[in-house]
Amino acid sequence: MITAGVDVGNKYTKVVVMKDGQVLSKYMVLSGFDQQQAAEEAYTRALAEAGVAREEVRCVLATGAGKGAVTFANDTITEVGADAKGAVFLFPSGRTIIDVGAEEGRAIKCDEKGRIVDFAINEKCAAGAGSFTEAMARALEVPLEEMGPLALQSSKVIPMNAQCAVFAESEVVSLIHSRVTKEDISKAVHDAIASRIISMARRVGVEKDLVMTGGVGRNVGFVKALGEGLEMAVLVPGEPEYVSALGAALAAAERAAG
C-alpha cells in the first residue's frame, strides 16, 4: 500500500511517499506565500521521484502550520501526532521528542507506540524557535549553516540578557563591538535558545530516550547545547526535517488499513 505525508511548515513544505513501511521518496520546497502551490509542487515532484501515479496513493495526510492548504489530502493530523509517530518509527526507544522548527518549538512525551502522553508548545515568538538563530546569524553576518560549527569551537559561557529576537540582535551587535569572538557569541546564542526549549521540555517531564526532530536538528551547536543542558544523549535522525511528513505518511497507512 502506498501512502503519503505532507508537512506544510512555516518555512518549508516536505513530502514523504511510503510503500509498506518503506520510504520511496522525499521532497522539500520553500513554503513561500502560496502554501497550496508549494504543497502541490512538492507532492508532484515526490511522486515523480518515486515513480508512482497519483491514483496509486491510497491515503494522503497533511500536517504542519499550513495543513489546511493541502487540497489533495484525505485528512489532516496534528503536528504533535505526526511528530511522535515519525520519531518513534525511527527510534523505537524514543519517549521524549523535541521538535524545533523555524517558528515553533515543541516537547512531546509519548509511549512505546508513539501515542502522545503530554506535550508543550512554544509558539509565535521567534525567541523560542529556529528563527532566533537565523536572526542572530544575520546580526553576526555568518551564514546560518555555519552557526552550529562555530559554536562548537567555543567553551565560554556568556549569558544573553535579551529574551526577544529583536532585542537580542542589538545585544549581539554590542557583543561584536566589545570584541567577543564570533565563536563565543554563536555558543551564547545556542545556549540561550536551548535553555528556553529545555525549560519548556521540563514541563512535560523529560524521559529517555530523547529524540530531536525538525530543521534545527541539523544544527550541531543547538543539539550540543540541548544535550548538555539536559545531561542526556540526544538522538537525531539523518534528515530531521522530514520526521513530521514521515509520521503523517505512517499515520495515513494506519488509517487506510482501517
Partner 1 sequence: MFANYGYKDGSGEFFISVDTGRCAGCPDKGCVEACPEQVLEVITDDYDDQVIAVREEHRKKIKYSCAPCKPTGGTKEIPCVAACRLGGLRHSW
Partner 2 sequence: MVVNQADKPKEYWRWTEYNWFDPSRDWRKAKIISGGVDVGSVSTQAVIMLDGELYAYSNMRTGSDSPDSAIKAMKWAMENTGMKMEDLTYTVGTGYGRVNVPFANKTVTEIACHARGANYMYGSTVRTVLDMGGQDCKAIRCDEKGKVVSFLMNDKCAAGTGRGMEVFANLLAVSIEEVGEMSLQVEKEPPPVSSTCVVFAKTEATGLLRAGWPKERVLAAYCSAMAHRVVSLLERNGVERDFAITGGIAKNIGVVSRIEKELNLKALKPRYDTQIAGALGAALFAKALVEKGKG
Q: What residues make contact with partner 2 under the rule CB under 8 A?
A: 33, 103, 124-126, 131, 135, 138, 141, 143, 163-167, 174, 177
Find the helix or strand (DSSP H, E) in which 14 lies.
Answer: strand 12-19
Nearer to partner 1, 105 or 240 (CB): 105
Binding pattern for the stretch 157-196 against partner 1, x by CB under 8 A and - elsewhere: ----xxxx------------------------------xx
Q: Which residue is nearest to ligand SF4 (CB)?
A: 164
Cell of 208: 529517555
Burial class (CB in 10 A: 0-12, 13-18, 19+), 178: exposed
Taking the C-alpha atoms of residue 14 and residue 56, their distance in angstroms, rounded to an integer, is: 20
Q: How far apart are CA 6 and CA 251, in angstroms?
A: 11
User: Please, which residue, 110 or 126, has the CB nearer to ligand SF4?
Assistant: 126
Q: Of partner 2, partner 1, ligand SF4, none, which one sits near residue 120, judging by CB under 5 to 8 A according to partner kind? A: partner 1
Q: Which of 2, 62, 80, 165 binds ligand SF4 (CB under 6 A)?
A: 165
Pairing of strands 96-100, 2-8: unpaired
212 binds, among ligand SF4, partner 1, partner 2, none (CB under 5 to 8 A by kind): none
Pull the grid cell for residue 33.
Answer: 506565500
- Cell triple for residue 158? 556568556
- R_g over Cα of the chain: 19
> Cα separation of 97 and 250, whole Å?
17
From residue 93 to residue 132, the character string flagging contacts with partner 1 as x (rule: CB under 8 A) and all else as - is: -------------------------xxx-xxxxxxx----
Residue 96, contacted partner among partner 2, partner 1, ligand SF4, none, CB below 5-8 A by kind: none
Of residues 88-147, which lie at the interface with ligand SF4 (CB under 6 A)?
A: 125-127
Q: Position 45: which residue type?
A: R
- Kindly list the residues in this chain that would bind partner 1 in the complex (CB under 8 A): 118-120, 122-128, 161-164, 195-196, 199-200, 202-205
